[in-house]
Amino acid sequence: MAMATPMLLSHHSSNPLEMDTSDEEARYMVTQIRETPSTDPLNEEEVDDQQYLHITPKKRSVKVNGVPTPFRIQPKPATTTTGDVYSDGDSDLEIVDDEEEVERWHRREDTFVQTAGDMVGMEEEMEVAPEREASVDALDEEDEENTLQLKPPEEQEEILEEIEDLENAVPQLTDDYKIIDRLGTGTFSSVYKAVDLYYHSKWHNKSWHGRHPRGSSAHFQSLPRPPGSKVFVAIKRIYVTSNPERIKNEIVIMEDCLGCRHVAQLITAFRHHDQVVAIMPYQRNEDFRDYFKDYPMVGIRAYMRCLFRALRDIHARDIVHRDVKPANFLFDSRKHRGTLCDFGLAARVGLHAYGGDHCFHTSPSMDAPHGRTISNKDLNTEAIKIAQKEARYKSMLPSDRVGYPEKDLRPVSKANRAGTRGFRAPEVLLKCNDQSGAIDVWSAGMILLFFLTGKFPLFQSNDDIEALMEIASIIGKKRMEKAATLHNRTFATNVPSVTQDGMTWREFVQRNNPDLFRSQSPPPSATPSTSPTLEDGSTLTAADLLHPPDPSSSQSTQSLYSTTDLNQALDLLERLLHPSATDRITARNALYHPFLVEPGPGDDAFFPHPLGKGRCGEYHFRDAVTEEHHAKFVGPKYDETRRMNAGEGIPIGDNVCELHRGMPEFL
């Protein structure tokens, strides 16, 4: 039987690179925290597998028998080989861009003369990693390759059986990768660690490496691996039961995210019959619970900067992640590197005039990424006041007359509720139909809250109503009513713990981690505090959070952070966890907040612009028919258009993209 044609597909919504655990108690706790019900935004009618397996991907530079294939399948021009690595031996490999054209574009790229304000020698800088970086990576190689031996014998046997099954199911994997361990398993997939056997000799890797300059925190993504080193990748095996539409959505979004900072880059993906696998760079990750309680401020800043740079870049591409949480942000605490992964729930943001379902705010726009509150003159303020008055009246009724019916026969308000328990923003819980990147910012604020309180998880609701009550018990009725009104909803409760004015997030942190506010003399490098934390496996209720242990029972007398650091962090926290989406700080503005801003060039200098934006944005466009990315080149002796591969032609900061440097206009 001939081998199936390879297709470009992606990993699913489970965390692709999170380390698994063999400890049963820890596994149970992880399950309780991580495997909570999440609404799938793409759970409409299932698509037949056979129909799915014949989807033809777009935007590829290599063809096999006339069918576009994953971009990474193309070899380097200097080492072009015949035959398709991922298809049967009868296939002919057709390189769309011949060697002469490739060389011509390379010469044009080399003609660029940089000005004093440009990133000097960017291409040359990215060719050689710093010595310290290379030495650390070399020390990691042996440890990374032998992780399987550190696991219990019975687990090793189980993993080896899975690896053998995967190699038999997808035989072409063994030609290019050596699978050495299992990184984790989920409901929809399993992820394995492997060595890329031909990174140095066979593949053209620049499209997924990107071109981040040395000054960027994402420069490590663009560094070629040292010659002769072992290159590790993550191989994700997607189960045949996965929703095809969800896989398609994720792979298209991941392709659009190529070149984004601190975002998992898709190297390639393909299928063999009903087996689908995706290949991504391996990212070292540490369990959030192992370091968050006493992490120094420099580490917290690095964590949040990486996260907000990832969010800024994807939000600029009209993409909302929808499931931001520690398990989906792979962080190496040694090198302060973070990578946002798992785009299984990600969705597009539509740019429209007004929100759906009569919300009282506009849709996201370039000028207002989180939308704007509609002016009172455009609203029926009288009807709003009547609804609010009725809700407040209900809040004063006895308990047997407040709540919601067990069998609610009212029309269902449909909205995207995808996300993880404890991380959903108020607008998600209130079923707003015009959600924006503000929901990711709220989730990021929750992570900062974990760092400051020394507690994770904080919220353990069973449904959306309980989740709203958990938030309301902190911020109070007044602010929750205002947030509900923004989305054409009302909020009514007579629960005594939900006060009218609530408290600030600063007060909430102080109640739950009083040691943070004790002595403010030690610098950020001070001895870690022993602030009160959860016992392993336990959970918190809203009452626990509002009535924490007596501060006098704590053994610590010193704060881990300085007064300035703490005040800045708490101010940012208030802005991240603002209950009204339109007033919540954006990812870009968070990077310019005093807590995260860095000396020197601002974040704008390293921002990879989306298609059509940036200094040479007018020369980039998407084909109206094929929706493929094209770039136009104009000069004294040429005027032509070239189709771009995903990850190519991305201008960074005030610089033009790598392919427009030779144009006279930009010299």
- Both 220 and 72 in a single domain? yes
User: Among residues 405, 626, 393, 564, which one has the least CA distance to residue 492?
Assistant: 393
- Both 636 and 560 in a single domain? no
8 A C-beta contact, residue 137 and residue 282: no
- Range among 65-74, 281-290, 389-398, 635-644 with highest mean pLDDT value: 281-290
> Using one digit for the tens of pLDDT, what is the confidence trace for 206-232?
889 999 999 999 999 999 999 889 999
> Using one digit for the tens of pLDDT, what is the confidence trace for 107-130?
443 333 333 233 333 333 333 344
- Report the alpha-carbon distance of residue 564 to residue 568 in Å, rounded: 6
User: Among residues 591, 600, 578, 420, which one has the least CA distance to residue 505?
Assistant: 578
Confidence (pLDDT) at 214: 92
- Both 250 and 382 in a single domain? no
Residue where a domain stops, chosen among 228, 257, 284: 284
Residue 367 has pLDDT above 90, yes or no: no
Task: Report the DSSP pairing between strands 189-196 and 177-185.
Answer: antiparallel
- Report the alpha-carbon distance of residue 637 to residue 354 in Å, rounded: 47
User: Among residues 130, 140, 312, 157, which one has the least CA distance to residue 223?
Assistant: 130
**Domain of 88: which CATH number?**
3.30.200.20
Asked if the structure places residue 85 within a domain, the reply is yes
- Both 536 and 622 in a single domain? no
Q: Which of 256, 323, 434, 565 is catalytic?
A: 323
* Mean per-residue pLDDT, 643-657: 92
Mean pLDDT estimate for the chain: 75
Known active-site residue 290: no
Asked if the structure places residue 480 within a domain, the reply is yes
8 A C-beta contact, residue 3 and residue 84: no
Asked if the structure places residue 298 within a domain, the reply is no
Crossing angle between the packed helical segments 297-315 and 438-453, to the nearest 10 degrees: 170
- Report the alpha-carbon distance of residue 616 to residue 648 in Å, rounded: 13
- Both 384 and 475 in a single domain? yes
Which residues are CB-neighbours of 320 under 8 A, at least 6 positions away?
A: 314, 346, 347, 348, 349, 435, 436, 437, 439, 440
Q: Which residue has the higher pLDDT, 70 or 262?
A: 262
Task: Report the DSSP pairing between strands 347-348 and 319-320.
Answer: antiparallel
E strands, 70-134, in order: 93-95
- Both 580 and 621 in a single domain? no
What letter does residue 577 receive in the DSSP assignment? T
Residue where a domain stops, chosen among 261, 284, 307: 284
Residue 37 has pLDDT above 50, yes or no: no
Structural domain that includes position 267: 24-284
Q: Which residue has the higher pLDDT, 185 or 219?
A: 219
Could you tell me the two tokens for 632?
Answer: 């136009």
- Both 449 and 510 in a single domain? yes
Which residues are CB-neighbours of 382 under 8 A, at least 6 positions away?
A: none
Count of domains forming the chain: 3
Task: Report the DSSP pairing between strands 189-196 and 275-281.
Answer: unpaired
Confidence (pLDDT) at 98: 38
- Both 55 and 174 in a single domain? yes
> Using one digit for the tens of pLDDT, what is the confidence trace for 49-106?
333 233 333 333 333 333 333 434 334 433 333 333 333 333 333 333 334 443 443 4
Q: What are phi and psi of 482, to 5 degrees?
A: -65, -40
Asked if the structure places residue 412 within a domain, the reply is no
Could you tell me the two tokens for 507?
Answer: 């007060």
- Both 501 and 424 in a single domain? yes
- Both 423 and 567 in a single domain? yes
Asked if the structure places residue 357 within a domain, the reply is no
Residue where a domain stops, chosen among 284, 304, 319: 284
Q: Which residue has the higher pLDDT, 187 or 480?
A: 480
Q: Identify the sign of the CA torsion 360, 362, 363, 364.
A: negative
**Domain of 377: which CATH number?**
1.10.510
Asked if the structure places residue 294 within a domain, the reply is no
Residue 327 has pLDDT above 60, yes or no: yes
- Both 478 and 568 in a single domain? yes
Asked if the structure places residue 333 within a domain, the reply is no
> Using one digit for the tens of pLDDT, what is the confidence trace for 169-181?
999 999 999 999 9
Confidence (pLDDT) at 244: 86
Amino acid identity of residue 274, one-letter, is D
- Both 639 and 577 in a single domain? no
Asked if the structure places residue 124 within a domain, the reply is yes
